[in-house]
Structure 1
Amino acid sequence: MLKHGLPASSSSLLFLPFLFFSYAIAFIPPHILLNHLSQGKSLTNQELWFNQTLDHFSPYDHRQFRQRYYEFLDYFRIPDGPIFLVIGGEGTCRGISNNYIAVLAKKFGAAVVSLEHRYYGASTPFDTLSTENLKYLSSKQALFDLAVFRQYYQDSLNAKLNRTGVENPWFFFGGSYAGALSAWFRLKFPHLTCGSLASSAVVQAIQDFTEFDQQIGESAGAECKAALQETTQLIETKLATDGKALRTTFNADDLEVDGDFLYYMADAAVIAFQYGNPDKLCNPLVDAKKAGEDLVDAYAKYVKEYYAGTFGVNVQIYDQKYLKRTAINKDSSSRLWWFQVCTEVAYFQVAPSNDSIRSSKVDTKYHLDLCKNVFGDGVFPDVDATNSYYGGTKIAGSKIIFTNGSQDPWRHASKQTSSADMPSYLITCKNCGHCTDLSGCPQAPSNIEGNEKNCSSPDAVHKVRQKVQEDMDLWLSECIDTGRSFI
């Protein structure tokens, strides 16, 4: 059943807080405004809503759903400051993060708005997540969501400022999958944004993503890599001889399918490198190997205390029986993201043919079988179609900034070489992982304003951020000169 959209009259109420706030700050220079949440993890958690079109590609389907968004106006230079749109990705959006985008907003006098991705969090169109109901979940629909929202917000802003037809300069931001959306939005809607920052943007759909595992080995270094490989071999042996006891050791009794359990084992290691905490994994594992201690026990301690503990990962999201559940729950993002993986982008993190970290049983067949088992026959990712539509790493866009961290395995699905009007910057340091330019180090837990002081090379982060600012300054000034959001 489709959830009801907002009554037509209610959308006009959404900007009342904006109206009051505008008057409150209208005569105060934006650069001296104090952000009362600057010491918090979010700039704002205040929810706002508007009616979004369910199917942008049907002239006959006029259904709508409620889509959640947030706005932060403390730094906004009224009336002509830029508007930064932070794209929500493959998870619940609970507010606008106080990361490096906040620093950029201060510098440029920008309003910051963030739109939650359709289906995720509270922006779900349906009461259940059956495969049939998920047919409107795609990157293509999400891009049109952004275009519709951008126009809605601009029109609402103009109404509050008693003007018509005025366009503030817009700039789009996103990280990871949302980073890909940021790049793809500029590609498909160049007239609606001055440019895009695509942080760790996974623009290349890949079926057999062997480079992912290879990067983990490279980031780990020789000693840690050897310890990880030996641990994987020991786990495979114990899984074959006494799988029940092994699963209990990892508090993973629900993972009855060997592939599900081995995928959980692989992901637990990945998280340390992806988010800039390699020592959390490598130090205890290498120490255990040198001391002749049980590597499986050492790894189990890390998984339970760090992956399941610190990160709070629910082991059930690796259970295909759990992923098949269509009722909406706190872990629904896992089913939703797997649907996008299984229909558009793949990113199958399979073991390379040799010298792998993860088990060889985490292969292409495992992923394709999961797609079929969880979503039904005929569900598989057509990566060639996705790359043909967007261009992959050969994206033919302009005014898109690509940034990546040297230790991030996802960078091999991103654009890592610069081309005309699309600079690509690699931040190189020991703990520079996913979205380092926005988050600082480590990338999780988050750092206020993306503080880079804990990066092994803060200067490397700072230099890339300076280049990003220079690119943005140029492109925003060109927008202002032309009076449009594009050039």
Structure 2
Amino acid sequence: MALQRRGSLLCTAALLVLLCGVVGGQGRFKGFGSFRSIDGGQDTGGRAVSEELWFTQRLDHFNGADSREWKQRYFVNEAFYKPGGPVFLMIGGEGPSNPAWMQNGTWLTYAKQFGALCLMLEHRFYGKSHPTADLSAGSLRYLSSRQALADLAHFRAVTAEARGLAGRKWVAFGGSYPGSLAVWFRLKYPHLVHASVATSAPVRATVNFPEYLEVVWRSLASEGVECPVLVQEASRALVGRLNDPKTYDNVTKDFNLCSKLQIKTEMDSAYFLELLAGNFMDVVQYNADNRGFEGARGGNITIKVLCGVMGDSSLGEPYARYAAVARLMMDTFSIKCLNASYQSYLRDMTDASWDGPAAGGGRQWVYQTCTEFGFYQSTDSPNQPFSGFPLAYHVKQCADFYNVSGEQLAAAVAQTNEFYGGYDIRSSRIVLPNGSIDPWHALGVTRDITPDLPAVFIKGTAHCANMYPARSEDLPQLALARDHIFLLLQKWLKQ
């Protein structure tokens, strides 16, 4: 479930993933976080968890003259299904669908109680669902949320007929970008989906999203008001060093860079600064989420841990503590050195082959941000802890990677909001959970729209927390949120 980002240390090692992990995603909706899930049909113990199945889809749902088809991956869990029960459809997002979700997660707890058949459909262009021969700009024309929703609609219609599910009520589940798709599936295809659980779903597109980092400030401050202040001081100190070539050897050593730091353009410095800020952004987004079953690493690194490092005066000035955080993250993810080169990133992101270093989701997701969503987590607000990666840096990447101009980007984002309505959701039977720690809640729904479009705002929790398996140390309000969603489904499935 993850809206990806592209700035963490892990992104450089394995170029990003936005989902809440599940079903697909990466990290911060520009993603959505980069504590990647493990793909491949195995649980963390090495046992096969679910068989890969394949569904025939049209390449272009909106051109009747185009008869090209491709195979889309999906998974099935029939363990809880009782004749006459509902169908639960987990929506894939911007990364490989993780089969571990066919044996874990709150949605399966609900499925057992309702006797539901569980299906999970991987998003086109992610994981093993390859509609085209490559990831060139010409091929990526067929990657959009609208095409993905049409995939869901066709899959639902054909599967209902093939499996004898006529008259069964379908419920869509999704977290992060797939949460947005769950909202829009119910909105655009109300005759096919009866209800939706849309967790941590950003429903409004925006080119500039500085509010993300404002929430990061507040979330860091939950461990003490001095924590984000120290991060801000460290980030500003690093900017000062990047303006003085005499410091480059020391910076290279401090952050264990793979090669000597070279700052020739503003893109070089912005990339390096966002890379380091991404450590804090990712940890905040997934703070204390129960993600181990996915194969996610780094779950022991929390806001409390990072703020503990930043508050440790024995490490030296805040700049030195910032470097200590970077080394901690590199150790956690077994990264030998940090590649801080924007040119290297540019080379990876413009490789259009399915074997390229960004084909795991990075090239595809950033394309979607440049042609549909924006979501650029810039430092343009004064009320956030980082420096040096303004909106212009993000927009320039759209031109560098896909030849998409800033004007085209702005027009595409406006069209997305015109098509889906942004916050103005006119529908029913959609529940919208969000966590207060999660920066994505700034583009989500945190108050009830109507009694039939309720929000569930969970204090103290992060991205998609209610979707992960329950555990004894969960906050009471998280357990109550899961129960509240169950009661809503119980009511809606009777309607």
Q: TM-score, normalised by structure 1?
A: 0.81
Q: Which residue of 2 aligns with 1:476?
A: 493
Contact kept? 1:44, 1:71, Cα under 8 Å: no
Q: Which residue of 2 aligns with 1:235?
A: 238
CA shift for structure 1 position 106: 1.1
CA distance in 2, matches of 1:83, 1:247: 54
Q: How many residues align?
A: 418
Contact kept? 1:70, 1:113, Cα under 8 Å: yes
Distance 1:182 1:297, change over 3 A: same
Q: Which residue of 2 aligns with 1:250?
A: 255
CA distance in 1, matches of 2:393, 2:476: 42
Residue 111 (str. 1) matches residue 117 (str. 2): yes
2:430 corresponds to which of 382, 395, 400:
400
CA shift for structure 1 position 152: 2.0
Q: Which residue of 1 aligns with 2:219?
A: 219
Q: Which residue of 1 aligns with 2:464?
A: 435
Question: In the alignment, residue 309 of structure 1 is paired with which amino acid?
Answer: T
Q: Which residue of 2 aligns with 1:8?
A: none
Q: Which residue of 1 aligns with 2:33?
A: none
Structure 2 SS opposite 1:44 = coil
Question: In the alignment, residue 192 of structure 1 is paired with which amino acid?
Answer: L
Question: In the alignment, residue 177 of structure 1 is paired with which amino acid?
Answer: Y
Q: Which residue of 1 aligns with 2:311?
A: 286
Aligned CA RMSD, in angstroms, stands at: 2.4
Contact kept? 1:200, 1:405, Cα under 8 Å: yes
Q: Which residue of 2 aligns with 1:347?
A: 375
Residues 328-373 of structure 1: per-residue CA shift (max 9 Å, x gap): 23531011100000110001111134233121x3111111111001
Structure with the larger helix share:
1
Q: Which residue of 2 aligns with 1:171?
A: 171
Residue 91 (str. 1) matches residue 95 (str. 2): yes
CA distance in 1, matches of 2:178, 2:256: 32
CA shift for structure 1 position 454: 2.9
Residue 300 (str. 1) matches residue 323 (str. 2): yes
Distance 1:292 1:264, change over 3 A: closer
Distance 1:122 1:463, change over 3 A: same
Contact kept? 1:184, 1:390, Cα under 8 Å: yes
Contact kept? 1:73, 1:112, Cα under 8 Å: yes
CA shift for structure 1 position 261: 1.2
CA shift for structure 1 position 316: 7.7
CA distance in 2, matches of 1:391, 1:317: 39
Question: In the alignment, residue 303 of structure 1 is paired with which amino acid?
Answer: A
CA shift for structure 1 position 38: 10
Residues 277-299 of structure 1: per-residue CA shift (max 9 Å, x gap): 21121111112xx3361433433
Structure 2 SS opposite 1:136 = coil
Contact kept? 1:372, 1:380, Cα under 8 Å: no
CA distance in 2, matches of 1:175, 1:41: 25
Contact kept? 1:271, 1:307, Cα under 8 Å: no
CA shift for structure 1 position 194: 1.4
Unaligned runs of 5+ in 2: 1-41, 263-267, 288-301
Contact kept? 2:258, 2:339, Cα under 8 Å: no
Question: In the alignment, residue 182 of structure 1 is paired with which amino acid?
Answer: A
Contact kept? 2:214, 2:381, Cα under 8 Å: no
Structure 2 SS opposite 1:132 = helix
Q: Which residue of 2 aligns with 1:184?
A: 184
Residue 357 (str. 1) matches residue 385 (str. 2): yes
CA distance in 1, matches of 2:376, 2:218: 19
Structure 1 SS opposite 2:352 = coil
Q: TM-score, normalised by structure 2?
A: 0.79
Q: Which residue of 1 aligns with 2:163?
A: 157
Q: Which residue of 1 aligns with 2:15?
A: none
Question: In the alignment, residue 306 of structure 1 is paired with which amino acid?
Answer: M
Structure 2 SS opposite 1:191 = coil
Structure 1 SS opposite 2:72 = strand
Q: Which residue of 2 aligns with 1:137?
A: 143
CA shift for structure 1 position 252: 4.4
Question: In the alignment, residue 365 of structure 1 is paired with which amino acid?
Answer: A
Q: After superposing the two structures, state which structure 1 stretch, 365-374 or 43-52, moved more.
A: 43-52
Unaligned runs of 5+ in 1: 1-36, 159-164, 440-449, 479-487
Question: In the alignment, residue 195 of structure 2 is paired with which amino acid?
Answer: G
CA distance in 2, matches of 1:93, 1:459: 29
Q: Which residue of 2 aligns with 1:16?
A: none
Residues 372-426 of structure 1: per-residue CA shift (max 9 Å, x gap): 0111144525222111111111221211100001100000111112122100011
Q: Which has the larger radius of gyration?
A: 1
Contact kept? 2:176, 2:202, Cα under 8 Å: yes
CA distance in 1, matches of 2:45, 2:466: 19
After TM superposition, list the pairs within 5 Å mapping 1:16-55 onto structure 2: 44-55=49-60
Contact kept? 1:316, 1:322, Cα under 8 Å: no
CA distance in 2, matches of 1:389, 1:41: 43
CA shift for structure 1 position 178: 0.4
Question: In the alignment, residue 112 of structure 1 is paired with which amino acid?
Answer: C
CA distance in 2, matches of 1:67, 1:459: 39
Contact kept? 2:275, 2:340, Cα under 8 Å: no
Distance 1:187 1:322, change over 3 A: same
Structure 1 SS opposite 2:163 = helix
Question: In the alignment, residue 270 of structure 1 is paired with which amino acid?
Answer: M
Residue 453 (str. 1) matches residue 449 (str. 2): no
CA distance in 1, matches of 2:75, 2:341: 28
Percent sequence identity over aligned pairs: 32
Q: After superposing the two structures, state which structure 1 stretch, 391-400 or 41-50, moved more.
A: 41-50
Contact kept? 1:285, 1:295, Cα under 8 Å: yes
